[in-house]
A and B are shown apart, each in its own frame.
Chain A
Amino acid sequence: EAGVTQSPRYAVLQEGQAVSFWCDPISGHDTLYWYQQPRDQGPQLLVYFRDEAVIDNSQLPSDRFSAVRPKGTNSTLKIQSAKQGDTATYLCASSSDWGRRNTLYFGAGTRLSVL
């Protein structure tokens, strides 16, 4: 069974440039998460979807970040006008159930550097 796939693996930008990250979750997983992981810190939830619906995007900086999952499968996270503070690894995860016992499966992440 294929795992969670993310691309690109690395991105280097100048401040003010835009970038998109793509995620293909495990087949059949209805819940998809995007996390931001700054260096030497734990992941911080940005947004998560159940099917195509956004369930919680309260931690997503809405002025520059957007995320979509139009068909309830693949997802794209976009940063408009990147800032140096956006430098981090962006992780996508998926799960097949909900509640206390759901396990999140992660992709390898996209490492973003904003110069």
Chain B
Amino acid sequence: QQKVQQSPESLTVSEGAMASLNCTFSDGTSNNFRWYRQHSAKGLEVLVSIFSDGEKEEGRFTAHLNRANLHVSLHIREPQPSDSAVYLCAVSGSNYQLIWGSGTKLIIKP
């Protein structure tokens, strides 16, 4: 059964510095990868969707996928305090059902 793990559990970054979050998965046939953000008391907001190895950029958010290494990452360029939230990685395969990591709590210090 697919396992999705995120690291670190918590990350503090200064405003303007790059923030990098990691996600590993166990099923090498996975083909659908999403990064979501969850602000306190708000719903999940999709940031980036990536379906093949390489890089996908959406504004200040860039996802890197390396399926051979079972790894997908999210990089946030010039983060602001408003980017402070929990970031969740979700992965699916042929059944299209998303399996979620437990999240990384990101804090951006002014």
Contact = CB atoms under 8 A, between A and B. Distances in A.
A99 interface: yes
Contacts of A107: 43
Interface stretch (B44-52, B59-67, B68-76): B44-52
A62 interface: no
Contacts of B103: 40-42
User: How many of chain B's residues touch chain A, expressed as a range?
Assistant: 20 to 34
A101 B49 contact: yes
A45 interface: yes
A42 B102 contact: yes
Interface stretch (B11-19, B77-85, B93-101): B93-101
Contact of A106 (B32, B43, B96): B43
A109 B42 CA distance: 7
Interface string B19-63: 000000000000110101000011111100101000000000000
Nearest to A59: B97
